[in-house]
């Protein structure tokens, strides 16, 4: 079994000039930082409408939606080892929001292999973008 990861980074819904300006500054910053380079390349590969994200065959979805000012990164079945180059790049992208949390919301959620292995981090009002839900499903027997 493996982890499920979601990272959502989104400009606040208020369409003010300050929010638009800071969103653009954020994108420029992460595009130019060495530590976010790998993640940024993969996010940008999902811009084209024909190609919705990297490795979509496995359910992975990494996409920048320019109209909604939103980055969505979803890996439903991945081994997530902090300290590996790609994971560190995605986490650096997520943590880059810290300086912009008055203008941008972000959330990072990880569900691990064990039932109590869950992690949640957010900036701004990121808790409003996604949440973890565990529930019991009853399967009817004969």
Q: Which pLDDT score, from 0 to 100, does residue 59 have?
A: 57
Residue 44: which residues within 8 A CB-CB, separation 6 or more? 64
Cβ atoms of 80 and 110 within 8 Å: the answer is yes
Distance CA 102, CA 138 (A): 43
| Per-residue pLDDT in tens (0 to 9) along the chain, 142 residues | 578 999 999 999 887 899 999 999 999 999 999 999 999 998 988 644 433 444 554 556 888 998 899 999 998 888 888 888 889 999 999 999 999 999 999 999 999 888 888 999 999 999 999 999 877 788 886 5
- CA 88/CA 19 separation, integer angstroms: 27
CA distance 48 to 26: 21
Instruction: Round to whole Å and give the CA distance between 2 and 31.
Output: 29
């Amino acid at each position: 079994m493996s982890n499920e990861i979601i990272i959502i980074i989104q400009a606040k819904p208020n369409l003010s000039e300050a929010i638009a300006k800071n969103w653009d500054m954020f994108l420029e910053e992460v595009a130019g930082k060495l530590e976010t380079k790998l993640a940024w390349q993969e996010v940008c590969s999902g811009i084209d409408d024909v190609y919705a994200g990297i490795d979509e065959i496995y359910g992975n979805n990494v996409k920048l939606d320019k109209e909604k000012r939103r980055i969505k990164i979803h890996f439903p079945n991945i081994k997530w080892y902090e300290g590996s180059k790609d994971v560190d790049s995605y986490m650096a992208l997520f943590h880059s929001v810290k300086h912009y949390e008055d203008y941008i919301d972000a959330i990072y959620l990880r569900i691990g292999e064990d039932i109590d292995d869950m992690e949640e981090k957010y900036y701004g009002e990121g808790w409003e973008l996604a949440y973890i839900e565990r529930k019991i499903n009853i399967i009817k027997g004969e």
